[in-house]
Structure 1
Amino acid sequence: MNKVILVTGTSTGLGLTLAVKLAKQGNTVYATMRDLNKAKSIREAAAAVDVTLHIKQLDVQKQQSIQTCVDEIIQKEGRIDVLINNAGAGYVRTTEQSTEEEVNWVMDVNFHGVVRCTKAVLPHMRKAKSGHIINISSVGGLVGQPFNEYYCAAKFAVEGYIESLATYVTPTFGIHFTNVEPGGITSEFANNVMEKISATGGILDDEYRPILEKYMAGAAARSKEGLYQTPAAVADVVIKCMQTDKPPIRQRTSPWAENFTRFKTESDPTGHKQNEQVFNQFLA
């Protein structure tokens, strides 16, 4: 069945790849981005495989932008079957080095943006008593990592937010929730992190510098070793989750990601056991 799908953050990387793959399968895909001046790449990618995408402006940091986009889709299509919260941004800094403004930005893009978009589509999915909200989270939403404390905090927040929604919205209204947790993607994401570091003073010459340099060298080595997945590989996992009758609440995207998070996920890989326990404790 053709699905109406809204994807955020589609100007590059995973979002772009997802939008094109979903459209190629015959879905009606609304590919959104904050800056429509960056739409050239996705238009070219869609044209290369002869698919139609509906490209719209949506800034996850602005509620009115989100609401306008959702309202226009509902007016035209009558429904939104799937929301893919893909828009996000990395941030590498220590707690001592970070300004309050930077911390607020990281949380706003990666957590509040998910909440805003989810809140905008939920009334329509609730009315239809169906729908699927998929968030591109990270293994950083399960395991804290050096110099990523604020990014991980935002992704941890997304994980808790979605786990909570799934305990009562899913059994009552038939709306499913999934956090997809890649271990790393070869895309513009890492470049944007480095640009953010440069824009906020570069690698600071303090006591944290040798530890950060060691961390950055390790990240570069993992990239060369091929541990990071392509956007296409992660997109295939997202699409498989979307096509499952009982979608997982949590889903890693590679053997490396599974191994990295195993101490937290081995006993309940999909999150369904924990979800059922919470439901039985509070609502059964």
Structure 2
Amino acid sequence: MKKNVLITGTSSGVGFESAILFAKNGFKVYASMRNITKAEPLIEKAKSENLDIEILSLDVTDITSVKAAVNTIIEKDEKIDVLVNNAGAGFAKTTEQATEEEIRWVTEVNYHGVVFCTQAVLPFMRKQKSGQIISVTSVGGLVGQPFNELYCGAKFAVEGYMEALATYVTDAFNIKITNVEPGGISTNFMASAISKTAVDGQFATGEYLPIFERYMAGNQKRASEGKEQVYQTGLEVADVILKVAQSEIPPLRIRTSKWAEDFCQLKTKADPDGAKLVNQLRESFL
């Protein structure tokens, strides 16, 4: 029987590429998205290449929607093998500038959504004594960055949540946990972040503006040089996610490029894949 995988946020970018790549590699793919009116490109791709992809409506911030999607999979397959928590949204704005609504939104999409989806699949993975949960976080889940503090805070939360979960569900129930940590991704992710978070075309105003201008100049310089390979394609990141899903002993955390690895080195050098820390925690607490 085919392994099945539920992937969130598949209307574009990494999620779109992951749905196609997993299907090409023998998985039954449940490709979910909040707005299924955006599913047509994926539906057409699946039809043209005869890929085993089924579209599901799923809003990661709505627990009822999450449970309904997971129950649909269980009703059809009686199991769920892999969850890829991919849905997320960028956010670049100063803490002072952000509204209460925006603070709640960036946390709900990037952190609560991961918890809701994980909570929904855990009972089934626990009963079947197998499963894998892969969360697409970010180098921003390990390293705080200017003007991204609210986004980084949500991604740090995912990293901590998954690290803690891995200390006991892997040994007890054979549920494997991995955080996939990309650097920049050359999809519509940043464009979406800009449209959602900029005010009058700017992320920062007043006394923050000159700092922000230096920040943007540095980003543009790195992107134009190209040699650092800051930005990956969605497919390149999807390829790492697939390799994790195919691994017998997947890492707790993995960066998706040399640039990302170098960027996080001060945080990860002593324990690059997180295995030492998880083992230490198990020995200390369990």
Query: TM-score of the superposition, structure 2-length normalised?
Result: 0.96
Question: Equivalent residue for 1:97?
Answer: 97
Of 174-183 and 204-213, more deviation after overlay is shown by 204-213
Question: Equivalent residue for 1:42?
Answer: 42
> Is residue 253 from structure 1 mapped to residue 265 from structure 2 by the alignment?
no
Question: Equivalent residue for 2:126?
Answer: 126
Question: Equivalent residue for 1:211?
Answer: 211
Of 124-133 and 219-228, more deviation after overlay is shown by 219-228
2: CA distance, partners of 1:70 / 1:56: 9
Residues 222 and 228, structure 1, Cα contact 8 Å, conserved in 2:
no
The code of the aligned residue for 2:142 comes to L
The code of the aligned residue for 1:51 comes to L
Q: RMSD across aligned C-alpha pairs, in angstroms?
A: 1.2
Cα deviations across residues 61-119 of structure 1 (Å, max 9, x unaligned)? 10000011100110000101000000000100111111111111100000000000000
Question: Equivalent residue for 1:237?
Answer: 240
2: CA distance, partners of 1:66 / 1:159: 21
Residues 141 and 156, structure 1, Cα contact 8 Å, conserved in 2:
yes
Cα deviations across residues 114-153 of structure 1 (Å, max 9, x unaligned)? 0000000000000001000000000000000000000000
Residues 230 and 260, structure 2, Cα contact 8 Å, conserved in 1:
no
2: CA distance, partners of 1:97 / 1:234: 32
Tell me by how many angstroms 1:25 deviates.
1.1
- Which structure 2 residues correspond to residues 154-165 of structure 1 after superposition, within 5 A? 154-165=154-165
Residues 27 and 52, structure 2, Cα contact 8 Å, conserved in 1:
no
Aligned residues: 282
Question: Equivalent residue for 1:87?
Answer: 87
> Is residue 282 from structure 1 mapped to residue 248 from structure 2 by the alignment?
no
1: CA distance, partners of 2:159 / 2:205: 34
Three-state SS of the structure 2 residue aligned to 1:109 is helix
> Is residue 268 from structure 1 mapped to residue 271 from structure 2 by the alignment?
yes
Question: Equivalent residue for 2:135?
Answer: 135
Tell me by how many angstroms 1:46 deviates.
2.3
The code of the aligned residue for 2:119 comes to K
1: CA distance, partners of 2:23 / 2:223: 29
2: CA distance, partners of 1:219 / 1:49: 38
Three-state SS of the structure 1 residue aligned to 2:184 is coil
Sequence identity percentage? 54
- Which structure 2 residues correspond to residues 47-58 of structure 1 after superposition, within 5 A? 47-58=47-58
Tell me by how many angstroms 1:212 deviates.
1.3
Residues 184 and 230, structure 2, Cα contact 8 Å, conserved in 1:
yes
Tell me by how many angstroms 1:232 deviates.
1.0
Tell me by how many angstroms 1:37 deviates.
0.7
Residues 36 and 57, structure 1, Cα contact 8 Å, conserved in 2:
yes
Question: Equivalent residue for 2:230?
Answer: 227
Question: Equivalent residue for 2:12?
Answer: 12
Cα deviations across residues 164-223 of structure 1 (Å, max 9, x unaligned)? 00001111111010000001111010110111134x443143111121122223333333
2: CA distance, partners of 1:274 / 1:243: 23
Residues 19 and 31, structure 1, Cα contact 8 Å, conserved in 2:
yes
4+ runs of 1 displaced by more than 6 Å? none
1: CA distance, partners of 2:197 / 2:81: 37
Tell me by how many angstroms 1:252 deviates.
0.4
Three-state SS of the structure 1 residue aligned to 2:192 is helix
Residues 143 and 261, structure 1, Cα contact 8 Å, conserved in 2:
yes
Q: Which structure 1 segments of 5+ residues have no match?
A: none
2: CA distance, partners of 1:42 / 1:223: 29
Three-state SS of the structure 2 residue aligned to 1:18 is helix
Q: Which structure 2 segments of 5+ residues have no match?
A: none
